[in-house]
Amino acid sequence: MWYWLFKYVLLGPLLYLMGRPKIEGGENIPSNGPAILASNHQAVLDSFFLPLMVRRRITFLAKSEYFTGTGLKGGFQRWFFSSVGQVPIDRTGADAAQDALNAGVRVLDQGKLLGIYPEGTRSPDGRLYKGKTGMARLALETGVKVIPVAMVGTDKMNPIGSKTWRPAKITVRIGEPIDFSRFEGMGGNRFVERTVTDEVMYALMQLSGQEYVDIYAATVKNAAPTKTAATPKNAGAPKSAGEGDAGSASKAPTPPDADRLPDTQAG
C-alpha cells in the first residue's frame, strides 16, 4: 500500500513537478513476469524516478545500512524502505555476494521486476563505470531477460554532494530486453559472466551517451574520495595511480557481436 501511496500521492506529484519526467521505450518492459532492470546510477533519485515512470512495481536490493540506523533519521529510513518493499542485503560479510544472489533469485521467482545497478554504486563523476558480475549471475541462474535502463538528468537534479533537489528535465530511457539463453548451463564461468556484464554495459553506454570508464566506480571513490565530486564529466581517464587504473580507463565494454569466449574456460 505504501509503495503506491508514495508513487501517486505522497512523493510522485513533487517529482513530476520538479523533474518533468518522460519515459522512452516503456513498451520494452513486459506487462507481467520477471525481468531484471539494469540501470546506470548517477543519483539517489534514480531509485525514485524509475519506479515513478514504470507502471509495474519494482523491487530493489537495498544495502542493509538503510534498515539498521538509529535515531530519528535511522527510524525514518527503516520505515521508508520497508514500506516500499525493498529487500535488505548485507554487503560486508563473507557470504554477501551469495546472499544478494539468493535475495534476487527469490524476487524473480515471484515473477517481479528486480532493479539492479551493475556499477555497484553511484558514479562519482557522471561517467559510466565497469559493471560488476552479480547481475550476470542472476540472469544466468534464472534465465530471466535483462532490460537496460538509462537514467538521464537525475545528476542535474541531485548533483554529487548536494543535499537539495534542483528543477531539471528527467528522461527514463528503456532499451530492448537482452536474452542470454545462448549461455544456458554456463553459469559460474567467469568469462561468460564478464561477457554478459559487458554486453549490458555496452547497451547502457549506447542508451545514456555516457563516457565509459573500464574500472570500478568504487575503486575511484576509495582512491580519491575528496576529488571525485569536482571531476568534470568529460575529464577523460584518471591520470595517476591514486585516481584509478589509467591504462584501462578508456576501453569500451564488449559490443553485443563480440561475445566469443576465450579459448581457455578455466575458472
Provide the residue ranges of all domains of the chain, joining segments of one domain with +.
2-248
If one compares 222 and 261, the residue with the highest pLDDT of the two is: 222
Predicted confidence (pLDDT) at residue 39 exceeds the cutoff of 80: yes
Predicted confidence (pLDDT) at residue 164 exceeds the cutoff of 50: yes
The single residue listed with the C-alpha cell 571525485 is 228
Tell me what the mean pLDDT of segment 223-247 comes to.
Answer: 44
Tell me what the mean pLDDT of segment 64-84 comes to.
Answer: 75
Using alpha carbons, select from 69, 125, 100, 112 the residue that is nearest to residue 243.
Answer: 125
Predicted confidence (pLDDT) at residue 46 exceeds the cutoff of 80: yes
Tell me what the mean pLDDT of segment 58-67 comes to.
Answer: 78
Tell me what the mean pLDDT of segment 116-142 comes to.
Answer: 94
Predicted confidence (pLDDT) at residue 265 exceeds the cutoff of 60: no
Could you tell me which CATH class the domain 2-248 is placed in? alpha beta
Highest-confidence segment of 33-37, 163-167, 245-249? 33-37
Instruction: Output the CA–CA distances (angstroms, integers) from residue 199 to 37, 181, 184, 193, in the order listed.
Output: 14, 14, 16, 10
Residue 170 is predicted with a pLDDT of 97
Residue 263 is predicted with a pLDDT of 36
Residue 175 is predicted with a pLDDT of 98
Residue 227 is predicted with a pLDDT of 45
Predicted confidence (pLDDT) at residue 77 exceeds the cutoff of 80: no
Give dist(CA 210, CA 16) in Å, integer.
Answer: 24
Give the global pTM: 0.82
Tell me what the mean pLDDT of segment 163-182 comes to.
Answer: 95
Using alpha carbons, select from 243, 242, 261 the residue that is nearest to residue 195.
Answer: 261
